[in-house]
Amino acid sequence: MFETAEINIPCPGCGEKNPKTIAWIKTNDHFDCVGCGKSVRVESKELLAGLKKVDDSVASLRKSMRKFGKRR
Ligand SMILES: [Zn+2]
């Protein structure tokens, strides 16, 4: 659902923020920093866990949406 949402991944080397989409994070495990050009490993599990809060609110939204569509 949030595949196209962008999050900024800070480079551990220079602190430059690298905007990446969720879809990108799911399919990649590293990127070249836009600031220093270093290859940075993406802790996608951690990043996606950080997005769990968003997921939770989406889940509760879906729950309330379900009331409206009883279709299976
Ligand atoms: Zn960097």
Alpha carbons 52 and 43: distance in angstroms, whole number: 14
pTM above 0.85, yes or no: no
Ligand 1 centre and the CA of 55: distance in Å?
29
Domain membership of residue 19 (yes or no) is yes
Domain membership of residue 18 (yes or no) is yes
Domain membership of residue 38 (yes or no) is yes
* Other CB atoms within 10 Å distance of the CB of residue 57: 10
Ligand 1 centre and the CA of 19: distance in Å?
12
Domain membership of residue 67 (yes or no) is no
Alpha carbons 2 and 21: distance in angstroms, whole number: 9
Render each residue's pLDDT in the chain as its tens digit; 72 residues: 578 999 899 999 999 999 999 999 989 999 999 999 999 998 888 877 877 776 677 778 788 777 766 666
Ligand 1 centre and the CA of 18: distance in Å?
9
| Count of domains observed in the chain | 1
- Which residues span the domain enclosing 13? 6-56
Sequence-distant (≥ 6) Cβ neighbours of residue 24 within 8 angstroms? none
Taking a 5 Å cut-off on Cβ, the residues next to ion ligand 1 are: 11, 13-14, 16, 33, 35-36
Domain membership of residue 69 (yes or no) is no
pLDDT for position 19? 95
